[in-house]
């Protein structure tokens, strides 16, 4: 279930504590995605982010196989459901920077303000999903939770419609959103028309059978 839990306090670890946690983390890693502690105290490592995007994203058409052309160089593109991306980041990278890096990796032209990063964790036999603030540090969360993704994983989603600050978008971006919505509306309308046409055909066929002279 999705919850807006009270923010867990960020515990500031000493360099020695970070070193010990990284050693413990690396000893438990099974996919070779280990963390590295630098001399300046900053550490680097990998996080995996599952893409759970329900709506199409605007992608440079030269980099993808789009489904709905928006302009000469942009395309509305649906990412595969459950797509997981691996990012190499540092302990100083914030949630906002991770979102921007993910969009850049997929050549996404949409404003990063459309998206939010969530953490999904298991506690007391339940799964909780909580939206992270822009200032949180995903690699710190990964280090504290350990490498097991069943204990903590990251998910990228769109903001709920009511949460989106539309004034932060440019006019071309808003026009793209309208074109995408128009296409989705037309697609759903055609599906409904086809469904009712099929029902009507079956009813007419049944009526002809009943009214057929015996």
Rounded Cα distance, 176 and 76, in Å: 9
Could you give the dihedral angle defined by the CA atoms of residues 177, 179, 185 and 189, in that order, rounded to the nearest 10 degrees? -170
What is the band of 72 on the pLDDT scale with cuts at 50, 70, 90? low
- What pLDDT is recorded for position 68? 43
User: How confident is residue 24, by pLDDT bands cut at 50, 70 and 90?
Assistant: very high
* pLDDT value, residue 10: 61
What DSSP designation does 35 have?
Answer: -
Query: Mean of the pLDDT values across residues 58-78?
Result: 55
- Residue 147: DSSP 8-state: S
Q: How far apart are CA 198 and CA 196, in angstroms?
A: 5
Task: Look at residue 5 in the predicted model and tell me its pLDDT.
Answer: 47
Question: What percent of the chain shows pLDDT beyond 70?
Answer: 80
For the entire predicted model, the pTM comes to 0.67
Q: What is the rounded average pLDDT of the residues 87-102?
A: 94
Q: Is residue 157 over pLDDT 50? A: yes
- Terminus-to-terminus CA distance in the chain, angstroms? 60
Q: Please compute the mean of the pLDDT values over residues 184-190 and round it to a whole number.
A: 84
For residues 114-133, average pLDDT: 85
CATH of domain 15-59+74-162: 3.10.20.90
pLDDT score recorded for residue 142: 95
d(CA 14, CA 16): 5
Measured at the alpha carbon of residue 34, what is the angle toward residues 32 and 37, in degrees to the nearest 5? 155
Average pLDDT, the chain: 81
Best CA proximity match to 156, nearest among 105, 211, 214 = 105
Q: How many residues does the chain have?
A: 214
* Percent of the chain residues topping a pLDDT of 90: 34
DSSP 64-133: S--SEE-SSSEEEEPPPTT-EEEEEEETT--HHHHHHHHHHHTTB-S-GGGEEEEEEEEETTEEEEEEPP
Domain-by-domain residue ranges, the chain? 15-59+74-162, 167-210
Place of tokens 């990284």: 22
pLDDT of residue 86: 93
Residue with tokens 């020695």, as numbered in its chain: 16
**Residue 76 above 70 pLDDT?**
no
45-64: per-residue pLDDT in tens? 999 999 888 777 777 655 44
């Amino acid at each position: 279930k999705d919850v807006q839990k009270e923010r867990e306090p960020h515990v500031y670890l000493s360099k020695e504590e970070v070193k010990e946690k990284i050693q413990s983390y690396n000893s438990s890693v099974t996919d070779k995605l280990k963390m590295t502690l630098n001399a300046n105290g900053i550490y680097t490592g990998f996080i995996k982010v599952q893409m759970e995007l329900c709506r199409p994203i605007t992608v440079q058409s030269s980099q993808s196989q789009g489904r709905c052309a928006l302009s000469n160089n942009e395309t509305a593109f649906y990412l595969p459901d459950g797509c997981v991306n691996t990012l190499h980041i540092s302990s100083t990278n914030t949630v906002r920077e991770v979102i921007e890096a993910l969009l850049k990796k997929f050549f996404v032209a949409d404003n990063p303000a459309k998206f939010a990063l969530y953490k999904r964790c298991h506690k007391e036999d339940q799964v909780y999903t909580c939206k992270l603030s822009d200032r949180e540090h995903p690699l710190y969360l990964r280090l504290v939770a350990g490498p097991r993704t069943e204990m903590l994983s990251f998910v990228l989603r769109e903001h709920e419609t009511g949460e989106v600050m539309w004034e932060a978008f440019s006019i071309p971006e808003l026009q793209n959103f309208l074109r995408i919505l128009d296409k989705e509306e037309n697609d759903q309308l055609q599906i409904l028309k086809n469904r009712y046409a099929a029902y009507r055909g079956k009813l007419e066929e049944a009526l002809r059978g009943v009214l057929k002279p015996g």
